[in-house]
Structure 1
Amino acid sequence: MHPHLDINNQKRCAHLILALEECHRHYGKFLGECNSIKYSLKECLNQDRNEKAKVNREKALQQKASSREYRRRMEEQEAEKIQELLRSRSKSSSD
């Protein structure tokens, strides 16, 4: 099963989408005459999907690292505030 065939969304496979549509107009969908084009299209769509998934994984890893770094900095700032508060309390109690 393939996604909805839209030339605008699957630009890389557009030539195969057009060829399959043309083949279906001439031979119909049920005679098996268009199977080779359909298999080529399926392979192209799978490659496209795999490439998009790879890009999305890389982007997610970058976002995760960025988020982790942000949380680490926030925790450091919070720890500094606590230390400062403790120092100010110890100074006021020693006076």
Structure 2
Amino acid sequence: YLDEAERLADRVGVIADGRIVAVDTPAMLGGRGTAAATVSWRGPNGPEHISTDAPTKVVRDIADSFGGAEIPELVVSRPTLEDVYLQMIGAAK
């Protein structure tokens, strides 16, 4: 149900051990809005991953290294609401 909350809710809260540990918008909960992005792709030696605050720059640099060719298996991702929720629940214990 967290994917629905992420799409539909204006604000969400996390309760752990009977306490409210966070309330914010889905985009900002647990620092999601400022969390580092992970850039993943298949390089010449296999899968590669970089965690960065500047994913656009990293993708440009990777594109340059590929000489403008398509970057295989390129994915840019940030933590999901579920990732943040599980992290908060674990930290509250």
TM-score by length of 2: 0.26
Larger radius of gyration: 1
Q: Whose helix fraction is larger, Structure 1's or Structure 2's?
A: 1
Q: Whose strand fraction is larger, Structure 1's or Structure 2's?
A: 2
